[in-house]
Amino acid sequence: MESVALPAARTGGTVNGTVALVWFKRDLRVRDHAPLAEAMHFESALGLVVIEPQWLDSPECDPRHVGFLLDCVTALQRDLAQRGLPLLVRTGAMPQVLQSLRREFRFTHLFSHEETGPGWSYQRDLAVADWCRHQGVNWTELPQTGVVRRLRSRTGWAGRWAQRMNAPEAPAASGFRAATGLEASAVPTLRELGLPTLGAPLPPGGERAAWATMDGFLNGRARDYRRAMSSPLTATEGCSRLSAHLAFGTISMRCLHQATEARIAATTDHSLAHALRGFSSRLRWHCHFMQKLEDEPAIEWRNVARTVDGLRPGDGVHDSSVDTERLQAWCEGRTGYPMVDACMRQLRATGWLNFRMRAMLVSFAAYHLWLHWREPGLFLARQFLDFEPGIHWSQMQMQSGTTGINTLRIYSPAKQARDQDPLGVYVRQWVPEFGTAAYPGPIVDERSAVAAAKERLYGLRKTRDAHAEADAIQHKHGSRKSGLPATAPKRRRAGAAPDGQGQLF
């Protein structure tokens, strides 16, 4: 998206007649918020959150996302009011919302953060840019993560990430002069938006909750991070649980990175420092994966490796037939594989699951059930409260073997149960009927399903076309170790990886 030149007001002082509109999207906070800091220089300013029908109607959106957003917006509105900035909440499509707002007050500048989102949000941004051009409104988009727009090469990316994350926070914003005659609007309820109320409570949203979660992790829970992250029994407490806050922007990646590094520097506890270093590298992965969607928006619906097109039914390119029976059994947690079903049920009930178990669920859908990743991915997107398109679609493809460059990782549910739930406590908690006649038999025979999957995928990967394509994919998307050329990694045997994910597609 084109960034429009910054206004004269940015250079200091206020410019008469300039009115700034700060558009909050996935950045629902006041701290380290560059667009908000820019708006301080204007004669008057307003904040805006838009609940867009394109989002509500998108196949990735679930009422739990909307519920969490509303919670975050309520907190944001209060925090902004303390700083003199009313937050308007509108429901409708951009740019129609902008058009009607412009009739109410003549804003001259629009500020927002850059967004790396699904196709509909990109199309909406194009429409907003067009509207701004026609109306003579200056729209400035500012980065908030390590994602680089119009990136030419992945070489040097990690250095740019570090530079951004180590830069000072955006100045604290306060003392706004609100545009006259406009007041903060009521935050709608789920019901008012025509959505069902939620069956289970959500974790608290908002900036304060994000910082409390971070403090609790860095100052206590993190000590056990590396040991606790793999088992679903321990990961709920042992992981940071900051993913939904990062997805909705209630804490900035920069603040989290800097607080983590400060904690590492301050502690004399070597095991804590070791755990936090593992955590810290995952923050970089967050942006590393988002960068892929930024660079290649089609990865949300098309195989990264085009040489695997048509391999599984339902890839949407060659045919769109999906084995609905298998898909439904997987979605409902009744595959007859107790560890898979327990994980799915935990996810559906709580909106969160640890990395290893997410990967196992996808591996099971992709290899055992031979389902293309798109439909399972949409279902998981609705379940994950932390849905972040760039991470999500990259991981869906990685765990399904369609990136062309990663080791095939086929998780055995039985082995995961032995390793991560040896006493069967977790399975009993989520699948109480396991071991009774009410529990279904296995939906597929594991041995033959996995053998068939391996044969097809390894067969394809051996082709000359697949090798050539792998080098091109590695060059475009692969992580770089400084100084090393971007060549495709050696293909290794299949198997479940440690939680470090080894190579990063």
Ligand X SMILES: Cc1cc2nc3c(=O)[nH]c(=O)nc-3n(C[C@H](O)[C@H](O)[C@H](O)COP(=O)(O)OP(=O)(O)OC[C@H]3O[C@@H](n4cnc5c(N)ncnc54)[C@H](O)[C@@H]3O)c2cc1C
**Is residue 384 part of the contact set for ligand X (CB under 6 A)?**
yes
Among 286, 326, 368, 461, binds ligand X (CB under 6 A): 286
Q: Which is nearer to ligand X, 242 or 299 (CB)?
A: 242
| Paired residues of 140 in beta bridges | 111
Q: Which is nearer to ligand X, 242 or 322 (CB)?
A: 242
Which H or E element spans position 142? strand 138-142
Which H or E element spans position 19? strand 19-24
Question: Considering only 109-117, 197-205, 265-273, 357-365, which stretch makes contact with ligand X by CB under 6 A?
Answer: 357-365
Which H or E element spans position 68? helix 63-82
Asked if residue 335 lies in contact with residue 360, where contact means CB atoms within 8 angstroms, the answer is no
d(CA 391, CA 395): 6
Q: From edge to edge, which strands make up the β-sheet containing 19-24? A: 87-91, 44-51, 19-24, 109-113, 138-142
Q: How many CB atoms lie within 10 A of CB 215?
A: 13
Q: What is the largest CA-CA distance in the chain?
A: 76
In angstroms, give the least distance from the CB of 224 to ligand X: 12
In three-state secondary structure terms, 86 is coil
- Residue identified by tokens 């119009």 is 150
Asked if residue 161 lies in contact with residue 294, where contact means CB atoms within 8 angstroms, the answer is no
**Is residue 354 part of the contact set for ligand X (CB under 6 A)?**
yes
**Is residue 358 part of the contact set for ligand X (CB under 6 A)?**
yes
In angstroms, give the least distance from the CB of 412 to ligand X: 16
Of 102, 65, 254, 46, the C-alpha closest to 167 is 254
Cis peptide before 95 (omega within 30 of 0): yes
Question: From residue 218 to residue 257, what is the string marking binding to ligand X with x (rule CB under 6 A)?
Answer: -----------x---------xxxxx--xx----------
In the chain the first and final C-alpha atoms are separated, in Å, by 25
Question: From residue 65 to residue 104, what is the string marking binding to ligand X with x (rule CB under 6 A)?
Answer: ----------------------------------------
Q: Which is nearer to ligand X, 109 or 358 (CB)?
A: 358
Number of residues that bind ligand X (CB under 6 A): 29
In angstroms, give the least distance from the CB of 16 to ligand X: 43
Q: Which is nearer to ligand X, 40 or 214 (CB)?
A: 214
Q: Which is nearer to ligand X, 187 or 239 (CB)?
A: 239
- Residue identified by tokens 């695997």 is 308
Q: Which is nearer to ligand X, 140 or 354 (CB)?
A: 354
Q: Which is nearer to ligand X, 252 or 395 (CB)?
A: 395
| Paired residues of 111 in beta bridges | 22, 140
In three-state secondary structure terms, 87 is strand
Among 124, 282, 326, 348, binds ligand X (CB under 6 A): 282
| Paired residues of 51 in beta bridges | 91
**Is residue 399 part of the contact set for ligand X (CB under 6 A)?**
yes
Tokens of 477: 């998307």
Of 357, 451, 446, the C-alpha closest to 408 is 451
d(CA 244, CA 352): 9
Q: Which is nearer to ligand X, 77 or 346 (CB)?
A: 346
Question: From residue 172 to residue 211, what is the string marking binding to ligand X with x (rule CB under 6 A)?
Answer: ----------------------------------------
Of 488, 501, 477, 505, the C-alpha closest to 155 is 477
**Is residue 362 part of the contact set for ligand X (CB under 6 A)?**
yes
Among 105, 120, 301, 355, binds ligand X (CB under 6 A): 355
Question: From residue 306 to residue 345, what is the string marking binding to ligand X with x (rule CB under 6 A)?
Answer: ----------------------------------------
- Report the interface residues with ligand X, using CB under 6 A: 229, 239-243, 246-247, 279, 282-283, 285-286, 289, 354-355, 358-359, 362, 384, 386-388, 391-392, 395-396, 399, 501
